[in-house]
Amino acid sequence: MSFKTGLDRLLADPQLRAPLEGKRVAYLAHPASVTADLTHGLDALVASGLRVSAVFGPQHGVRGDLQDNMMESPDFIDPTYGMPVFSLYGEVRRPTGQMMSTSDILLVDLQDLGCRIYTFVTTLLYVLEAAAAAGKTVWVLDRPNPAGRPIEGLTLRPGCESFVGAGPIPMRHGLTMGELGHWFIDHFKLDVDYRVIVMDGYEPETGPGFGWPEGRIWVNPSPNAANLNMARCYAGTVMVEGATLSEGRGTTRPLELFGAPDIDARAVIAEMRSLAPHWLEGCLLRDCWFEPTFHKHVKTLCNGIHIHAEGPAYDHEAFRPWRLQALAFKAIRRLYPDYPIWRGKEFKYEYTDDVLAIDVINGSPLLREWVDDAAALPGDLDALTLPDEAAWADERAVHLIY
């Protein structure tokens, strides 16, 4: 069976579109909300005859024009079609009642990366909650999870919720957006009219792409999500946003590499291999040099590590990006005991207050405490994390569509 996204199925099948006829339809989208031939979904839906009454944009905006993190988007009027475009990463994070009043049905068509911290996940929850309050219908036009089915990372702890932590989900959740919607509705007991327009031919366990269908063109869902390798690495490298190291923003390979001016990357890799070689399986690590053009360590030469989760060495089941990145932090802490790895509380990550960014990202202080505890070994982090991963595998099973 040839592969089709939810959007492509909706456009191809008049019967699927029939419930939308005559209704006011809102569209939540970004630059990767495209058809197989790369027509943007907004253009395609309007051309199909649907009455698109409003557009919503997530973080980085409908146009994906805002490069850096935590840059807000304004509302505006679409210059081509004249409908309002509402930002869900500007004055508000949650759709207001006034925004919801512009439509009857909201189509969510966001390409996700399969990681809890990617804010499109939280935006989906907020949309479902707003739709429940307003009595509106939500359809998810489902898309692939490029990170595939593997589960990894600590579950977010109660009280640690944020815009990068919608609920008790591990870092790498292994669900599509449509499946996540079902989990949100079940977990938060939402009374909302919800439907998933499922993909055709989606086989997340099949190589070489696994979560990403072979031959599918990659369009950046956010400015620093440049390719499939980044999507695979992201559940680990995103933690570097909470560190003083550069995560490669301001280079052409952000969130695939990390480093700093004052570390020896070869020594860090050697220390990682000596500590937990089994956490480095399924990929290749290459020491490299880079100079960020903006962001952390701007215009300063950095020694770093590039993670290659691609090519013949890639093993989808063995690759563990969250553990790999945790191990890199641990190796730096062992080699340089006084190194200031963590960004301080003055850096208000995703608008949180008085919490270290690394703890916001992980949904608890547990990973940071493991890194900083000189006596803690890799097995101690596994002892914390393996039960969380097993519990999530059981919990998500009922919501798997594919």
Per-residue pLDDT at 195: 98
Q: What's the domain range around 187?
A: 6-222+395-399
d(CA 87, CA 84): 10
Per-residue pLDDT at 97: 94
Mean pLDDT of 297-312: 97
Q: Which of 248, 242, 206, 246 is nearest to 227 (CA)?
A: 248
Count of structural domains within the chain: 2
172 and 246 share one domain: no
Q: Other CB atoms closer than 10 Å to residue 226's CB: what's the count?
A: 17
Alpha helix positions (H), 86-223: 97-100, 120-134, 177-187
Quickly list DSSP for 85-103.
EEESSSS-SS--HHHHTT-
108 and 123 share one domain: yes
137 and 153 share one domain: yes
Residue identified by tokens 């977990």 is 187
pLDDT tens, 148-182?
999 999 999 999 999 999 999 999 999 999 999 99
**What's the CATH number where 343 sits?**
3.90.1150.140
**What's the CATH number where 147 sits?**
3.40.50.12170
55 and 201 share one domain: yes
Order of strands, sheet of 257-260, starting from the edge strand that comes earlier in the sequence:
257-260, 302-308, 284-290
180 and 254 share one domain: no
Per-residue pLDDT at 7: 98
131 and 245 share one domain: no
The whole-chain average pLDDT of the chain stands at 95
28 and 135 share one domain: yes
165 and 286 share one domain: no
**pTM assigned to the model:** 0.95
233 and 216 share one domain: no
Torsion from C-alpha of 31, 36, 40, 42, nearest 10 degrees:
-120
Lowest mean pLDDT among 37-46, 66-75, 244-253, 354-363: 66-75
Tokens of 299: 């215009």
351 and 299 share one domain: yes
Lowest mean pLDDT among 37-46, 125-134, 346-355: 346-355
Per-residue pLDDT at 1: 66
Per-residue pLDDT at 61: 80
107 and 200 share one domain: yes
Per-residue pLDDT at 72: 61
Is the pLDDT assigned to residue 71 strictly greater than 70? no
Angle at CA of residue 291, ends 287 and 294, nearest 5°: 135
pLDDT tens, 194-218?
999 999 999 999 999 999 999 999 9
Tell me the pLDDT band of 70, cut-offs 50, 70 and 90: low
**Counting beta carbons within 10 angstroms of the beta carbon of residue 16, is it exposed (0 to 12), middle (13 to 18) or buried (19 or more)?**
middle
75 and 170 share one domain: yes
